[in-house]
Each structure stands twice: as C-alpha cells, then as structure tokens.
Structure 1
Amino acid sequence: MSNEANKQVVLAAIDDATGRKNEVHRVLAQGDFVVTHATTTLPDGGRAAAFDLWQIADGQITGHWGGQEPIVERTANGHTQVDGAAVIDTTADTDATRRVAEETVRTILVDNDFSDLDRYLAGESYIQHNPRFANGISGLAAAVGELAKSGQSLKYSDVLDVVAEGNFAYFRSVGVLAGADFVFHDLFRVADGRAVEHWDVIAPR
C-alpha cells in the first residue's frame, strides 16, 4: 500500500486503537510504518502531547508503540509541544532528510558530542518544542550543561526505529536521563542540510 493509504488506515483507527481522543497535527509514513504526532485527551480528561508509531500490513495495524507527556502551559522557548510547521514537503529528498537527522541524533544524543552543533542544527534559528529547552543551539547547550552540572546526564543508547518522509524524520530511541531508563520520541524538520525544528516526547521505559 502507498504511504497515503497507510496513513488513512491509522487515522481511521487512532482513537479506538489508543483509547484516547486525538487531534493529529503531523502524520508521516515510510514503508510499513506510520507516525502520528497529536494532542491527546486522556480518559481522565488530562491533555498530553503524544507520538505513536504504527506498523501496517495488508491494510491492517499489526504493531503499535507510543509515548506521551503532559501538555506544559509555559515553556522555555515560547512554543507549544505541538505547534510549528506541519505540512510535509513531498518534493524534499527523503533519503537526505533521513541521513541528516540520523547523523544529528547519533552525534549529539548517542555520542554526546556537542563540539560542532552548528553543523547539525540551524544555529540560533533552530526552533525547539521541548518545553524544557530554549530555542537555538545556545538554548540546547545551556540546558545540557545544567543537566550535567546537576548530575542528570542525557544519553541515548540505541536508535530503534527511523521513519522519514520528505523534510521530516522521526526516531524512537532508548536511553538514560538522570539515571532512569526512558524511551525517546524525536521528530525533526530538516532544511538546507541541517535540522531546523524539533519536537519530542520522553516517556518512562
């Protein structure tokens, strides 16, 4: 099935499959996988930002992994966890997007190499949606520095899944934050060979 057909399978089933009411902001697909990024309303009425990864075979959902974080009203960057660019540029080179984003994740988050952030991220124009971090590479560097000073290091140990379409690339990874095991869901928008925008959800493993 095509990417668009697989997306429609997920969008038709997402509320029933998750047991939540979802307002989907972004959906991308590659091969047998679909990723949704949504504001979700939980059964108790709470609201969260959610990433869900779906596996599709013959028009049916055969696998599902997800994570969510409560919506934060005041963020360090002035953005919400779900706003920003939403339309996929289907003319963009998906393979190039995947390559750029994968190098970014592996260098900065797996190897913890912060020596050349400008090579991977769009400088002070880098738009951040993680509620804890300010915009720009200075915001990222400051937040990582504060984590290190307080002994709360952030390090990814393995990238489990990558889904890219057009100018967007999603990663599901595992790692450690402040000594605890987490699953990390990251979505990057890529332009001119660098990551220009980032959304994420961090969920206990």
Structure 2
Amino acid sequence: MSSKRKQQICELLKGIETGDPASVEVVNEAKYIQHNPHTQEGSIGLAELFQRLSLSNPRVNIVRVFEDGDFIFAHTEYDFSSSKIGFEIFRFENDQAVEHWDNIQPRRGPNPSKHSMVDGETKAVDLNKTEPNRLIVHSFIDEVLIKGRLNTLDHYIDGSNYTEHNPSMSDDLSALKASLSQPGSNGITYKKNHRLLAEGSFVLSVSEGYLNGVHSSFYDLFRVVDDMIVEHWDTTEAVPPRAEWKNDNGKF
C-alpha cells in the first residue's frame, strides 16, 4: 500500500478506535458530501460520530484497500458493540476527501463452504487489466443480476475455481441461481448499478434493489482472473426511510 491517499483513509478509519478528531482532518469540510444517511455533513459530523463510537471500545481492521483515480475504496471489519463488515468509498480532490459512501451489515457466517465475509485474497494484481475487468463485471451485473439471464452465469463465473464469501451461500453456484430466481418479494432483485470502481483484479459494484421486498443497497466486490470472476464478497444494507436521513444527499 504505497498511495498517500490510501494511507490517509486508513488513518481516518482507525480514528474510530480513538475518537481523535485529528483523524478527520483529511476531510474537506467545506466540500464534503456525506451519503451515509445516518451521519451529518462535514468533518464535524464525522468527529462526533467517531467520538461516540469510541465509547464502545471499537476495533477497526482494514482488510483491503484499493485506488481508482480519485476514489479510494476499502473493505473493513468493525467490532463495535457487535461485529460488522463494511465497504467504504471516498472521493478525493487533491489531498482531501470530499465525498463518502458506505455499506455496512452485521457479520454472519462462516458460510456453508467455511469462508468468512472477509477472508481470501487481498492484493490487487494484473493492474494493466483494470479496465477489461471493470467491463466484465459491468456486463455481469447488467446481464445476470439486473436482467436475470441466469443461463449466462457460466460465461462470467469460473464455477470450478469459485470462492463465495456471502454468509448464506456456498461456492456452488446453485445457491446464487436459486436466490436470483425467487420472486422479487422473496429473493434478491437488482434494479440499478450506480458505480463500478476497480484496481487490477478487484472490482467493486454499488447497486440498488430489493432484498425480500426491502429497498436495499448492494455492494459486491469481485476478483477477476483470466477474464472470469473467481471470488466474491458483499454487504447488503436496507436503505432507511427518507424521514430518518440526517443529510439530503441520498444513499447512492
């Protein structure tokens, strides 16, 4: 991890452990756009959040961190009063973060294949294939997850070498097919992809849809090798009702 911006974000997230307001100095308060609907705008909102969280003696582990242009995205473990797994996205202008998105869910698992929500490969390779890998995941999200063309699943996922980290599923693709085949009120429905961030072999997708009829945000991290998806991690979070938002920027 050589990027200055990556280091800045790691220091920011580790500030949750101490509640130190200095950890949020990387945030440009005048420009900062907060998309976590439970957090107020600006570094003051973050400082207050970090100070409150620090009272529960939290632990933060940054498992993976990647860079895509002006974006830093990280895969994290949080141990507050309970254990949670999250994805964090920050957009930079120069040396300061000016926009933030995240998606956090309670830790569950291990799954039927004995994988946790965060273990597996951590280092991005094949940096020269960042854009081709982004396009592969874009096509997979559009064709399989949004349009539901499950007969093309094998075109994208190497089933013989696939590792699944979703706590409810196994490496066998039958569980994924079954979940995507359920009616909208009983399974997973992807409606729109909002963002794809990539560094080498890793691609993070930010999508919107429904889980068992509940309006939800889906963050999916894929590892791509030789033009096939070989590993997957995710978090799902319900989008709160508009009346509960503490800012006006929306989840996406």
The question of a shared fold, defined as TM-score above 0.5 by the shorter chain, is answered with yes
| Preserved contact between residue 190 and residue 196 of structure 1 (Cα < 8 Å) | yes
For 2:202, which of 163, 168, 178 is the aligned residue? 168
Report the equivalent of 2:59: 21
**Residues of 1 paired with 2:217 and 2:225: CA distance?**
26
Residue of 119, 136, 155 corresponding to 1:100: 136
Matches within 5 A, 1:32-51: 32-42=70-80, 45-51=81-87
CA offsets 1:45-65 (integer angstroms, 9 cap, x no match): 211111111111121111111
Considering fraction of residues, name the structure with more strand.
Answer: 1
* Residues 73, 123 of structure 1: alpha-carbon distance in 2 compared, 3 angstrom cutoff: closer
Q: Which deviates the most, 66-75 or 116-125?
A: 66-75
1:6-85 maps to which residues of 2 (within 5 A)?
Answer: 6-16=5-15, 17=46, 19=50, 21-42=59-80, 45-85=81-121
The CA RMSD over aligned residues, in Å, is 1.9
Query: Which of residues 156, 171, 174 in structure 2 aligns to 1:135?
Result: 171
Contact between 1:122 and 1:136, CA under 8 Å: does it hold in 2?
no
Partner AA of 1:10 in structure 2: I
Q: Is structure 2 residue 195 aligned with structure 1 residue 183?
A: no
C-alpha distance in 1 between matches for 2:59 and 2:207 = 25
**How much identity, in percent, do the aligned residues show?**
26
Q: Is the contact made by 1:110 and 1:157 (CA closer than 8 Å) also made in structure 2? A: yes
Contact 1:170–1:188, Cα closer than 8 Å, also in 2: yes
Aligned residues between the structures = 199
Structure 1: give runs of 5+ residues left out of the alignment. none
Stretches of structure 2 that go unaligned for 5 or more consecutive residues are 16-45, 51-57, 240-252
